[in-house]
Amino acid sequence: MVKPLYKVSKQLMDVVQGKAYADTVITNGTLVNVVTGELIEGIDVAMKDERIAFIGDASQMIGEATLVVNATGKYIAPGLMDGHMHVESTMFSVTGFSEAAVKKGTTAVFMDPHEMANVFGIEGVKRMHEEGRNAPIHVFTTFPSCVPATDGLEDAGAKISVEDVEEGLMWDGVVGLGEVMNYPGVIHRDEKMIGEIEATLKQGYQPTGHFPEGTIEDLTSYLLSGVTSCHETVTKEAALEKLRFGMTVMIREGSAWQDVKEVIKVITEDQIETDHLMLVTDDIYPETLINQGQINHVVRRAIEEGVDPVTAIKLATLNTARYFKLDDDYGSLTPGKVADIILLDDLTSMDITDVFVKGNQIVKETQLIKETPAFVYPKHYYQSVNVGKVLTAEDFYFNTTHQQSVNINAIEVIENSARTKKKVVELPINNGIVESDLSQDVIKLSCIDRHHKTGQISNQFVTGFHIKRGAVASTVAHDSHNLLVMGVSESDMAVAANYLSDIGGGMVCVLDGEVIASVPLPIAGLMSDLKEADLLRQVEGLKAGWVRLGSPLHAPFMTFSLIALPVIPDIRISNRGLVDVTTFSLIETICSEEC
- For the chain, helix (H) and strand (E) counts, in that order, are 17, 30
Return the range that interacts with Fe ion (CB under 5 A); candidates 172-180, 315-323, 442-450, 464-472. Answer: 172-180
∠ CA 67-70-75 to the nearest 5 degrees? 120
Closer to Fe ion by CB, 252 or 276: give it.
Answer: 252
Residue 89 Cβ vs Fe ion, minimum distance, rounded to whole Å: 9
Cβ-contact 557, 474 below 8 angstroms: yes
Question: Is 154 a binder of Fe ion (CB under 5 A)?
Answer: no
Mark 176-205 with x for binding to Fe ion (rule: CB under 5 A) and - for no binding: ---x--------------------------
Q: Tell me the C-alpha distance between 278 and 34, whole Å.
A: 13
Pick the piece of the chain touching Fe ion (CB under 5 A) from 60-68, 173-181, 254-262, 265-273. 173-181
Contact status: 115 vs Fe ion (CB under 5 A): no
Looking at 31-39, 276-284, 436-444, 494-502, which segment touches Fe ion (CB under 5 A)?
Answer: 276-284
Q: Does 253 bind Fe ion (CB under 5 A)?
A: no
For residues 173-194, b (16+ Cβ closer than 10 Å) or e, as one string?
A: ebbbbbbbbbbebbbeeeebbb
Nearer to Fe ion (CB atom), residue 50 or residue 282: 282
Q: Strand, helix or coil at 237?
A: helix
Smallest distance, Fe ion to C-beta of residue 222, A: 16
Neighbours of 306 (CB within 10 A): 12
User: Does residue number 412 form part of the binding site for Fe ion (CB under 5 A)?
Assistant: no
Contact (Cβ atoms closer than 8 angstroms) between residue 566 and residue 572: yes
Q: DSSP label at 215?
A: -
Q: How, if at all, do strands 106-111 and 80-85 pair?
A: parallel
282 contacts Fe ion (rule: CB under 5 A): yes
Q: Which is nearer to Fe ion, 99 or 282 (CB)?
A: 282
Interaction between residue 259 and Fe ion (CB under 5 A) = no
- Taking the C-alpha atoms of residue 462 and residue 553, their distance in angstroms, rounded to an integer, is 14
Output the 3-class SS for 425-456.
EEEEEECCEECCEHHHCEEEEEEECCCCCCCC
Strands (E), 144-220: 174-180, 206-209
- The letter for the amino acid at 164 is D
**Taking Cα atoms as reference points, which of 439, 542, 526 lies closest to residue 117?**
526
Complex with Fe ion: residue 144 or 505, whichever CB lies closer: 144
Smallest distance from the beta carbon of 85 to Fe ion, in angstroms? Answer: 7
- Residue of minimal CB distance from Fe ion? 282
Whichever of 282 and 492 has its CB closer to Fe ion, that residue is 282
Minimum CB distance to Fe ion smaller for 154 or for 179: 179
Establish if 529 lies at the interface with Fe ion (CB under 5 A): no
Closest contact distance (angstroms) between CB of 280 and Fe ion is 8
Q: For Fe ion, give the closer residue by CB, 54 or 324.
A: 324
Minimum Å gap between C-beta 354 and Fe ion is: 30
Considering beta carbons, is residue 143 or 356 the nearer one to Fe ion? 143
Q: Which residues bind Fe ion (CB under 5 A)?
A: 179, 282
